[in-house]
Amino acid sequence: MKHEPEKWKADYNRDGYLVVPDALDAATLASLRAGIEKITADPDGYPPHLRQWLSMERDYLKKKSSQNDLTAEQVGNAVRNIMELPLFDPIFADLICYRPLLDVLETIFDSSEFSFHNYKCIIKAPRVSSKFVWHRDLPYLEHSTPNLITAMLCLDEMTEANGATVVMPGTHRIPHEQVLPSDTDIPEDKLPAGERVTVKCPAGSAVLFHVNIIHGGGANRSDIPRRNVIGIWAGPDTYPTTMARFGYQDLMPRSKDPARQKQMRMTFPHLYGGKN
Ligand SMILES: O=C(O)CCC(=O)C(=O)O
């Protein structure tokens, strides 16, 4: 990955999003792909405490038939979303410590005091996926400030044909109090005027965006999958306002606070030489 902190900051502040090519090295990309493939190969083979975190395309389109022109039968057993990735495989927990991504996050937050919220994987399965509604992420994240970043690690190339994310640059600039609960699903005729950018990038790229940027994306009707491991990260003094908590939530992998550093070492002894 090329270190371009000034460019990262300028892109993010101007547009509300940023693409970082080669954020994942080849070995990490391969192991994340293998981890996701293991989950999607047999979703119904998981015990209930894990199966509950898998959302299927067929169930989504029962609720949101406008987002897919196929029937529940036609989409088969395609997985659409895997929540709580670190519960499925320690490689996803270790990803909380992945240095290239932390470098970018520390630059954009302009602080070392940011915290992990959760990791999920959004899958647009070849030929059958639904499209995404236009939305902002902040309303469903429910935090005390909007200083949160959605960081997508692209396990596959993103193209228009496989349903690349589409963003509306600049729409992150909105006062906190003007973000509405209904912004989790913004109808086409309520979208602000402005450019729509299809984020095309190679596999291994990171795409980071402000949780208030309006984004969506098309269906995947190509033959290649489009899988994004998506982390939510909270900036300094930014806290959840509901009861919901995720595994490993609130770890602060770059914190300068010795107690937080100790927490990281004790949580990931195999990555920090087993020292307290
Ligand atoms: O995977 C994508 O293209 C975007 C995911 C997304 O919008 C979300 O998880 O809220």
- Strand ordering across the sheet containing 132-135: 132-135, 214-217, 165-168, 197-198
Residue 273 has pLDDT above 90, yes or no: no
Six token digits for residue 123: 């899958």
Q: Considering the chain, what is the average pLDDT of its residues?
A: 96
Distance of CA 205 from the midpoint of ligand 1 (Å): 15
- Binned at pLDDT 50, 70 and 90, residue 275 comes out as low
Query: Ligand 1 centroid to 173 CA: how many Å?
Result: 19
Q: pLDDT digits over 39-78, tens only?
A: 999 999 999 999 999 999 999 988 888 888 888 888 899 9
Q: Using a 6 Å cutoff on CB, does residue 156 contact ligand 1?
A: no
Structure pTM? 0.97
Q: Please report the atom of ligand 1 found closest to the CA of residue 163.
A: 3
Is 155 or 72 the better-scoring residue by pLDDT? 155
Q: Determine the distance separating the centroid of ligand 1 and the alpha carbon of 44, expressed in angstroms.
A: 24
Please give the distance, rounded to the nearest whole angstrom, from the Cα atom of residue 140 to the centre of ligand 1. 12
Whole-number Å distance, alpha carbon 81 to ligand 1 midpoint, is 10
Q: How far is the CA of 103 from the centre of ligand 1 (A)?
A: 22
**Whole-number Å distance between alpha carbons of 130 and 80:** 9
Q: What is the pLDDT of residues 79-134, one digit of tens each?
A: 999 999 999 999 999 999 999 999 999 999 999 999 999 999 999 999 999 999 99
- Per-residue confidence band for 276, with pLDDT thresholds at 50, 70 and 90: low
- Contact at 8 Å (CB) between 266 and 260? no
Residue 251: how many other CB atoms lie within 10 Å:
18
Q: Ligand 1 pocket, 122 CB below 6 A?
A: yes
Name which residue sits closest to atom 5 of ligand 1, judged by CA. 122
Strand order in the sheet with 54-56: 17-20, 206-210, 148-154, 226-234, 115-124, 79-82, 54-56
Return the ligand 1 atom nearest residue 164 CA: 3
Relative to the CA of 140, which ligand 1 atom is closest?
A: 10
Angle at 122 between CA 44 and CA 6, to 5 degrees: 150
8 Å CB contact between 187 and 130: no
Summarised one tens digit per residue, pLDDT across range 216-240 is 999 999 999 999 999 999 999 999 9
Q: How far apart are CA 48 and CA 258, in angstroms?
A: 38
Answer whether 172 contacts ligand 1 (Cβ < 6 A): no
Domains of the chain: 5-267 (2.60.120.620)
